[in-house]
Amino acid sequence: MADTELQPRFWVPLGVVGLGLACGLLSWIAAAVVVLFGCFLMLQTALLRLRFEAEALVVTRSGTEIRRFPYSDWMGWQVFWPMVPVLFYFREVKSIHFLPMLFDANALNEQLTTRIGPSGTRLKEAAPPADAPHE
């Protein structure tokens, strides 16, 4: 299967900026904080990419790999609010990840379903803590 890089989508950052502007009716401080967060998300959308490779999901920033998530370590995944996708969750054996939807949600769903399995599928059990008593 060929590597696939997801295209950026600016809907969530623009929505956050819009929400911040609307907050300006209540408090300029709240508006400034939310608008700044929206601007941060826009910058991340411009710089970060998700690339699906044969064995792992790879996160890159400006073309440089910053993190690799092997599919063999995944326990499950979910896109929150499929009708208006704003958050991507996945769990590995050792950690949980939440990412704002800064990329094409349809392509994300398609790639994850093809490479890992449908959303909600329990892929593996969590490893017990290292200090857990042995049976």
Q: Which residues pair with 56 in a beta bridge?
A: 70
| CB neighbour class for 81 (10 Å; exposed up to 12, middle 13-18, buried from 19) | exposed
Q: Which residue segments constitute the domains of the chain, with CATH numbers given?
A: 4-115 (2.30.29.30)
Q: What is the pLDDT along the chain (135 residues), one digit of tens a residue?
A: 789 999 999 999 999 999 999 998 899 999 999 999 999 999 999 999 999 999 999 999 999 999 999 999 999 999 998 888 899 999 999 899 999 999 999 999 999 999 998 887 666 665 555 555 655
pTM: 0.81
